[in-house]
Structure 1
Amino acid sequence: MKKKIIQVEEVPPILEAIPLSLQHMFAMFSASVLVPNLIGINPAVVLFMNGVGTLIYLLISKGKAPAYLGSSFAFIAPAGIVIATQGLGYSYALGGFVVTGAVFCLVALIIHFCGTRWIDVILPPAAMGAVVALIGLELAGNAAEMGGLILTDTYTQIDPKKVAVFLITLCVAVFGNVLFRRFFAVIPILIAIVVGYIAAACFGLVDWQLVDQAPIFAVPNFQPAKFNWTAISVILPAAVVVVSEHIGHQIVTGKIIGRDILKDPGLDRTLLGDGVSTMLSGLVGSVPTTTYGENIGVMAMTGVYSVWVIGGAAVISMVIAFFGKVSAVIQSIPGPVMGGVSFLLYGMIAASGLRLLVEQKVDYSRSRNLVMSSVVLVTGLSGAFIQIGQVQLKGMSLGACVAMLLGFIFWLIDKFHLANDYADAPEEEVAQVEGENV
């Protein structure tokens, strides 16, 4: 039975839209709240500004590019360095966030005038499919870690209860996606989280202390940004990571919804939306934003692409920011529950990369295609990194940069061979062959 698709511009009935929006909000909540907790700031301001930023993003992208903006992990390390630096502090990290957002806007302006044809040239399908697959594969370890399947500093031994909750949640999500009918077929993630939470409570894995201590109402702790060149120079290199991540996310989102959002509304608009959101977040005390793989996975799994649903999730996030008890209940969802749903969502993203390779009919009998996919995947999954200031370029971001570099080199080789092979040919014939190669 083919899944019903709710298209980008469709407005679901309110009774359907609310649980669909809750599903998107739950999917991003755990990761998005983790960032302010690691930095040491109030999560309420982050939840509020993530919602505001998402609405701004949807408005700037003309409601044609469904995406939820959550907290970016790329800034945790540089922000921590600024906070720990004597004489600075988090207010100066905020100034770095504002400047980084301005850089996003500048890059968007350059793309507006230069276009996106360069992406087709330096990211051919063999590279693009591998980059998309990396988005999910890179995150798979995080899902397994949350599920208690990997020994870490947090989980020093395998806990059967956590593994059981992980498996229960994952099974509900997997079999629910296949077996559920009617409206339940589009909210398997929400149902899996609820069932997983109940199972975790039965196993005694839910910490109610956070809920008991949380106030009923809580006003987000807004604070102004301060600017210092040292802090800006530490924060700014993270822009490279987020821009490459943004391009990858837009490519995979376009493939999932069946539309070329790099052209309409355009990569310039989506990056501008992310830039404006990051600037505003920095100005009031929040963290930089980025598109979220969790929400991309929800769209891939459920077939719900509506920007109205995502906008509803943004509004819910803004409202929750003022209700401490509600926020605490959601924060109390144990790692194995979120690990169970994320395990499937990240896999859906990786599968979207494979789907792209199949649909584009990538010919792996050609050495170029085989080499490009191989190098990109190994680069992203090997743990290799490049240090840029206080920021590590690794995983999907490094893989995307390597893919672009290889694509550009192969393009130059093609141009060189073309110049030699058609040195005496008419200009019309050369132009035709160039178009076919691109």
Structure 2
Amino acid sequence: MNLSAKKKLILGIQHVLAMFGATVLVPALTGLSTSITLFCAGLGTLLFHLVTKRKVPVFLGSSFAFMGGIIAVIGDSRLGDPDFIDKLSAVKGALIVAGLIYVLFSILIKLVGYEKVNKLLPPIVTGPVIIVIGLRLSSTAINSAFYYNGAFSLKAVFVTVVVLAVVIAISVFARGIYNLMPILFAIIAGYLVCIPMGFLDFTPVQQAHFFSFMDKDIIAQILALPTFKADAILAIAPIALVTLIEHVGDITTNSAVVGKNFMIEPGIHRTILGDGLATALAGFLGGPANTTYGENTGVLAVTKVYDPSVIRVAAVFAMLLGILGKFGGLISSIPGPVSGGISIVLYGMIASVGVRILINNRLNFGNSRNLMIASIIVVLGIGCDSIPVTSTVTISGLALAAVVGMILAAVLPEGHDSVLPREE
């Protein structure tokens, strides 16, 4: 599909809106800078595209998996506290090490070959894992959509219904360029509906600087040199071993949505390398670890526009939002019921892609092996939030489900009826 510059611009803005809420939530919870985080997300995405030959339509945003480790190092310290910069420097060093772990694994995968990775992740594992990726996020979407200030709100439900109605109507009935912009139109409609309901809060706009990087506090965080402290590295860097599995799942999802096997071309070793270098770069500048974003894969599934250049437009916008504080503040003012309504669609689309993988590979769920593997992956992935390994390191339920699924698929014999016969 040949897209004009205008269409790419609009589609890029949609991707920014999709990733914004989750990306800025990580610094809000950890004490890191929102402006630096947005800038690192955009810059890391551009670096990822450079490493992956500009072929993979992936956006890199803040990783939630690393939050526990970052909080363990920073604690309750916040900007302005005398020990904050020292703790931030330790976080920087640990995230650089985490990024280098990605780089090491990308080299190993390049040496042993993609086929070994593919055997570890057959469709009976990747399909349910992708379903889990979407469904694990569903509670977040519902909480944003139906609740306001922690309480159930009929007004919030009304806004969510309006947002969903607009997304559905434009996706199904609109034609031409309008069919490519259901999320953007839904956000505008939801924003307008929120005005008379008192959901809008322009405090983020009022408090934001016009140019974020003129703020001396932000400059101090960028210039803080990384320190490599053992306790911080042990709290943060091992999490990369978990997120590597999530990365493979996300790239598999993206491949399924686009209809191209990015595991082969440009290669999973390149996508892991790009993710790792982006994480190390974000760590050096003072942002959180980066990761491939399912929200933006959901946008791809809704719009059916897979041009990677659109993601690069979004990356540039994210960098501008990091620099131009007022614009970032405006997007921050989007009410929860609006973003929640959009998230219901995006996360549901991700889960549906997992179902599509199972159907396209004609997996037989009358086969006990398939049924057992899928069942255990889904329950572990959704039912288990995380498992503590040490006082500071946890393994996510998604990673646990993926590992157990890979083990079961490797040890359980594959019967002749595992795959349904094709109809003549």
Q: What TM-score, normalized to structure 1?
A: 0.88
**Does residue 141 of the first structure (1) align with residue 105 of the second (2)?**
no
Alignment partner of 1:398 is 2:389: no
Question: In 1, are the aligned partners of 2:387 and 2:397 still within 8 Å (CA)?
Answer: no
Q: Mark the CA change 1:321 to 1:382 in structure 2 (over 3 Å): closer, same or farther.
A: same
Q: How does 1:227-238 map to 2 (within 5 A)?
A: 227-238=228-239
TM-superposed CA distance for 1:173, in Å, is 1.3
**Residue among 120, 135, 138 paired with 1:122:** 120
Partner of 1:169: 163
Q: Which residue does 1:258 correspond to in 2? A: 259
- 1:47 aligns to 2:41 (yes or no): no
Q: Is the contact made by 1:122 and 1:403 (CA closer than 8 Å) also made in structure 2?
A: no
Corresponding position: 1:201 with 2:211: no
Output the CA distance in 1 between the equivalents of 2:327 and 2:299. 22
Give CA deviations for 1:133-174 in whole Å, capped at 9, x if unaligned: 11101111110011135x9xx51x311111211221122112
In structure 2, how many angstroms separate the alpha carbons of the residues matched to 1:77 and 1:179? 44
Query: Which of 100, 109, 112 does residue 110 from structure 2 map onto?
Result: 112
Contact 1:70 1:292 in 2 (8 A): yes
The answer on 1:68 being equivalent to 2:59 is yes
Shift, 1:131, TM fit = 0.8
- One-letter amino acid matched to 2:157: V
Amino acid at match of 2:405: A
Write out aligned runs for 1:333-352 (5 A). Answer: 333-352=334-353
Cα deviations by residue, 1:333-365 (Å, 9 ceiling, x for unpaired):
111111100101000010001111111000122
Say if 1:392 and 1:174 are closer, same or farther in 2 by CA, change over 3 A: farther
2: CA distance between counterparts of 1:349 and 1:303?
Answer: 13
CA distance in 1, matches of 2:210, 2:76: 35
Equivalence for 2:208: 214
CA apart distance, 1:124: 2.1
Return 5+ residue gaps in structure 2 as ranges: 78-82, 416-424
Secondary structure at 1:227's aligned position in 2?
coil
Q: Distance in 2 between matches of 1:19 and 1:349?
A: 22
- Residue by residue, what CA displacement relative to the aligned partner does 1:117-141 show, whole Å, maximum 9, x if unpaired? 1233232222221111111011111
Aligned residues of 2:32 and 2:288 also touching (Cα < 8 A): no
How many residues align structurally?
A: 400
Q: What residue in structure 2 maps to residue 353 of structure 1?
A: 354
Q: What residue in structure 1 maps to residue 419 of structure 2?
A: none
Tell me the alpha carbon deviations over residues 398-438 of structure 1, each in whole angstroms, 9 at most, x when there is no partner.
Answer: 2111111112222xx57xx9xxxxxxxxxxxxxxxxxxxxx
AA of the residue aligned to 1:27: A
Compared with structure 1, are the counterparts of its residues 18 and 380 closer, same or farther at alpha carbon in structure 2 (3 Å cutoff)?
same
Give the conservation status (yes or no) of the 8 Å contact 1:383–1:395: yes
Equivalents in 2 of 1:104, 1:311: separation in Å?
A: 22
Q: In the alignment, what sits opposite 1:90?
A: 88
Structure 2 residue aligned with 1:189: 183
SS at match of 1:101: helix
In the alignment, the residues of structure 1 paired with residue 137 and residue 26 of structure 2 have an alpha-carbon distance, to the nearest angstrom, of: 16
Q: Is the 8 A contact 2:382 2:397 kept in 1?
A: yes
Q: Distance between the aligned counterparts of 1:406 and 1:116, measured in 2?
A: 20
CA distance in 2, matches of 1:13, 1:212: 35
Question: What are the residue-to-residue correspondences of 1:12-23 with 2, within 5 Å?
Answer: 12-23=3-14
Secondary structure, aligned partner of 1:64: coil
Q: Who is 1:421 aligned against?
A: none
Q: CA RMSD in A?
A: 1.7
d(CA) in 2 for partners of 1:306 and 1:250? 16
Structure 2 CA distance for partners of 1:200 and 1:384, relative to 1, 3 Å:
closer
SS in 2 for 1:70: strand
Q: Which stretches of structure 1, 4 residues or more, deviate above 6 A after TM superposition? A: none
Secondary structure of 2:374 counterpart? helix
CA distance in 1, matches of 2:120, 2:242: 18
Moved more, 181-190 or 169-178: 169-178
Query: Within 5 Å, which residues of 2 pair with 1:292-311?
Result: 292-311=293-312
Q: Are the aligned partners of 1:138 and 1:395 in contact in 2 as well (CA < 8 Å)?
A: no
Q: Which residue of 1 aligns with 2:28?
A: 37
Aligned to 1:330: 331
C-alpha distance in structure 2 between counterparts of 1:268 and 1:301, whole Å: 28
Q: Secondary structure at the residue paired with 2:32? A: coil
For residues 179 and 395 of structure 1, do their structure 2 counterparts lie closer, same or farther at Cα, with a shift above 3 Å needed? farther
> Can you give the 5+ residue segments of structure 1 that lack an aligned partner in the other structure?
1-5, 418-438
| 3-state DSSP of counterpart to 1:393 | strand
Aligned position for 1:407: 409
C-alpha separation in 1, matches of 2:324 and 2:298: 27
C-alpha distance in 1 between matches for 2:260 and 2:385: 33
The farther-off stretch of 269-278 and 231-240 is 231-240
Q: Aligned letter for 2:275?
A: D
Q: CA deviation at 1:384?
A: 5.5
SS in 2 for 1:386: strand
CA contact (8 A) 1:37 1:43 kept: yes
Q: Distance in 2 between matches of 1:174 and 1:241?
A: 35
Q: What is the CA distance between 1:94 and its match in structure 2? A: 1.2
Q: Which has the larger radius of gyration?
A: 1
Identical-residue share of aligned pairs (%):
37
Which residue identity does 1:29 align to in structure 2? F
